[in-house]
Amino acid sequence: MRRLYYVFVCLLLLGSSLAAARPVQQPDSLLIQADRMLSYKAYGRAIDLYTQLLNDPRIVSAQRSGIQASLAQAYRAVGDNVKAERMFREWQSALTPGQEKPVAVLAYAQTLASNGKFVEAQEQYEKYQALYEQQRTRRLASVPTAASGRPAGARGEAVRYQLEDLSLNTVNEEFSPMFYRDGLVYVAGSKGGSTIETSGSGGGAGYLDLIYVPNRSQLTAKRRINAEGEVIDTKKEAAAARLSAGPRPVGNDQYTAPTANDSRTSATFQGGINVAQGLGYDKRPVNPSKQFAQSLNTKYHEGPATFSADGSQIIFTRNNYNNGKAKTSEENVNKLKLYTARQINGTWSDITELPFNSDDYSVGHPALCKGRDGTPDQLLFFASDMPGGLGGTDLYVSRWLNNRWSEPVNLGPTINTKGNELFPFADENGNLYFSTDGRRGVGGLDVFYAAMDGPAVRAVETIDAPINSIGDDFGLITDGVRQTGYFSSNRNGSDDLFRFTRESSLFGCRDLTLRIFDVTTDMPIDSVVVTARGKRVGQTDQVLMADKNGLVKLCVDAESDYLFTASRDGYINSTIGLSTRDLTDDQPSRLEMSMMRPTVIVDTVFVEATKPSRPLTSSRVRGTVLGERDGTPIEGVVMKLRNDCNGRIETAVTDTNGMYEFDIMEGCDYTLTASKPTYGTSTSKVKKVAKKSKPKELVAMVRMLHVGDVVTTDKIYYDLGNSTIRPDAARELDKMLATMRRYPSLVVEIRSHTDSRGDAGHNKELSTRRAKAVADYLASKGISRNRMLAIGYGESMLVNNCTDGVICTENEHQRNRRTEFKVLAIK
């Protein structure tokens, strides 16, 4: 017969999600900038901006509290704990209870401890713990279950866990842990009989009792098992660490009390263990094995239990024994039943059977679960071999209605099998963990997870190794995101307790929000196309579009590296990377991507003449205006020179040689503009001549584009039969990019040509793709597509006689493989 298994229960966490300390309303641009500086770890700049915001009378009180919390975090980051404490205190005093963010309360507690205020720090730690347990987190995603028990279509990587074999384990049985307040209640004793029932009259030292450890954070481990199965002896590891560390710091030896740096509990002079009150035993230190004996433990089995959210009620498993009397079934078997008791005056009293117990079948392994309407403890899950089930033992659920438990309902074939389903546990999100030997797994009993919708089962998936092993693994308890928890296993030969910590992402993908904004105005940009490209082989690119608020929401794979590219007409492409490797919190992430419009290029192209054209009485600037395409002088160009010191504008017109000339003042910058109908307006800067220097003559050539000009770029090379822009071609295209930026109104036709070799139709299609590739490149740099027309001409416009059948050199063919830019319009 199998060993006696009992289950653990659920400690329900309180309440619904906390309201965020920061307001929901859209903050102004200064607040967005301050938050961004904080996220970039630019703490000095963040402090300046938050301080400026706090002095702004337009900031409403709700915004003020969030700013104070953020400013306190910034002060703490730069080591100014005095100012951080003051700001945390102002922040908390202005809030109503329940508005605090747990992470801010924890930071406040750590700040107080750093400032030596341990009593206040302890109060904040306790408040943090309460807030953390109240906070609802993201529900686990539902995963369809394959016939093998593995989630269908699940991610390839297993979730990584580190295990700790707890020091409290003995050669006897320790199993089915359960949370109770700050401690841990578990079942301990010697081996019993069958899975959920026991035979005989009972009694004696070999039976199981409930054991209580008041402070689970102080549980130690004798060895650690990593995700690869490697076993590390913690005592040897600690000894090696002490030897390598040299002198021992305070709090790191056997004779110095722990400090606030050693744990999340601030230091006291009374040691570290605070025994919980009102558990049915007195205040004196007692042997843990006797802590429940006075009110619950009997000479029969007491097994897995569950507690109400407020800790005032317990539902526990016991043999059919109450008020000193034991009963058996018709087969003379002492079955298991569920009992409830309430804590009255520090004692568990009024022990009562649940209404669906029976002398003829067993009911045990209770797990209370909070209702979806926010009222506590609405559902009770348990295991039973009552008639009408699907197999040996099934999981059932009962609902608390009209001050009584309803008729139990079998959870059905989505969970229950022909085997044994045992040890249910409901986390704070209402989802269920249980163990079964009726599904294909790693060993005997394996732990599975069921996504629940109230009492209804949505999907089931197995838990990865090393939690599940070739032995029996059962009684798992954890938080809502499976970050850490406890379970029992017989992999060591007897039932032992293990603590686990998750080291990788729990979900197949991670929620991510991208916010895209204009770097100049700080306003969101809509209609931005975002391409998410994963770097793993086989990952498919995701292409999404930003909404009216500039937001893009997607789910990215765990343990992956991503590159996000944002593109929008008229903006320079923006790229940002993200790695989901080593992220274990499973909380939604947020990234911000800034985009900018291309700036108009204004060159400073003037140089000092080596020899003035005539004697100088004052400084002057002169030059020639030439055509961009052929370099011929342009007559009749209106030249305007603006003095940037006083705003005065002088005008001149180029002569037949395209020449102009202006006198200039020393110590002032100038802006020179050249314009003529059907030509593009050219703007340049004239570098100032230093004050009190000798008169100088500055000279330069000004080039202008004309409608109809065709500028050939013959160094844009492609790989054979390919249209991808190569790095050497990109350098040439950057010259055209500069021209497009210098003339903001310029509209061009991008003309791509091939040589005559190969099929003419293929050459036409290839040249079209190449022309579009050039347009894509320029668009990625912020050139609007409205300013470009991409056309491929193939081999139809050869510049020499290298047609089909004519023998030509490679250089002659290269002249035909060209990309041209024809000016269609310009102002």
Concatenate the DSSP letters of all residues of 39-57 into one string.
Answer: HTT-HHHHHHHHHHHHT-T
Mean pLDDT of 336-362: 87
Token pair 């249910």 is at which residue? 424
Mean pLDDT of 659-667: 90
| Model confidence band, residue 349 (pLDDT cutoffs 50, 70, 90) | confident
**Mean pLDDT highest for which of 31-45, 135-149, 249-263, 678-692?**
678-692
Domains of the chain: 29-134 (1.25.40.10), 161-220+286-502 (2.120.10.30), 509-595 (2.60.40.1120), 603-704 (2.60.40.10), 710-825 (3.30.1330.60)
| pLDDT computed for residue 649 by the predictor | 95
Q: Is 555 helix (H, G, I), strand (E, B) or coil?
A: strand
Q: Is the pLDDT of residue 73 over 90?
A: no
Token pair 């163990």 is at which residue? 435
Considering only CA atoms, which of 397, 383, 508, 403 is closest in space to residue 454? Answer: 397
| Model confidence band, residue 675 (pLDDT cutoffs 50, 70, 90) | very high
Q: In the structure, how many helices (H) and strands (E) does the chain have?
A: 10, 46
Average pLDDT, the chain: 77
Q: Which residue has the higher pLDDT, 738 or 327?
A: 738
Q: Is 823 helix (H, G, I), strand (E, B) or coil?
A: strand
| pLDDT computed for residue 240 by the predictor | 58
**Mean pLDDT highest for which of 242-256, 309-323, 469-483?**
469-483
Between helix 118-134 and helix 102-114 the angle, nearest 10°, is 170
Token pair 């893009």 is at which residue? 552
Cβ(266)–Cβ(113) below 8 Å: yes
Write the pLDDT tens digit of every residue in 167-176.
Answer: 999 888 899 9
Write the pLDDT tens digit of every residue in 363-387.
Answer: 999 999 875 555 556 899 999 999 9
Considering only CA atoms, which of 697, 724, 742, 716 is closest in space to residue 819? Answer: 716
Token pair 């080291």 is at which residue? 503
Cα 372 to Cα 357: distance, rounded to the nearest angstrom: 26
C-alpha to C-alpha distances, 145 to 161, 425, 462, 521, 585, nearest whole angstrom = 22, 20, 9, 49, 25
Burial class (CB in 10 A: 0-12, 13-18, 19+), 396: buried
Between helix 61-77 and helix 81-93 the angle, nearest 10°, is 160
Write the pLDDT tens digit of every residue in 438-461.
Answer: 888 777 889 999 988 878 888 888
Cα 380 to Cα 408: distance, rounded to the nearest angstrom: 9
| pLDDT computed for residue 501 by the predictor | 92
Pull the structure tokens for residue 387.
């008639």
Beta bridge partners of 532: 542, 564
HSE, CB side, 13 Å, CA atoms: give it for residue 815: 11
- The DSSP element (H or E) to which 748 belongs, if any, is strand 747-753
Beta bridge partners of 388: none
Burial class (CB in 10 A: 0-12, 13-18, 19+), 380: buried
- Exposure pattern of 290-299 as b/e (b: 16+ CB <10 Å)? ebbbebbbbe
Q: Rg of the Cα trace of the chain?
A: 38
Q: Which residue has the higher pLDDT, 53 or 207?
A: 53
Mean pLDDT of 225-241: 72
Backbone torsions φ then ψ of 810, nearest 5 degrees? -65, -35
Write the pLDDT tens digit of every residue in 160-169.
Answer: 899 999 999 9
Q: For residue 453, give the amino acid letter.
A: D
Strand runs labelled E in 171-301: 173-180, 183-189, 198-199, 209-213, 221-225, 231-233
Write the pLDDT tens digit of every residue in 499-520.
Answer: 999 887 777 677 889 999 998 8
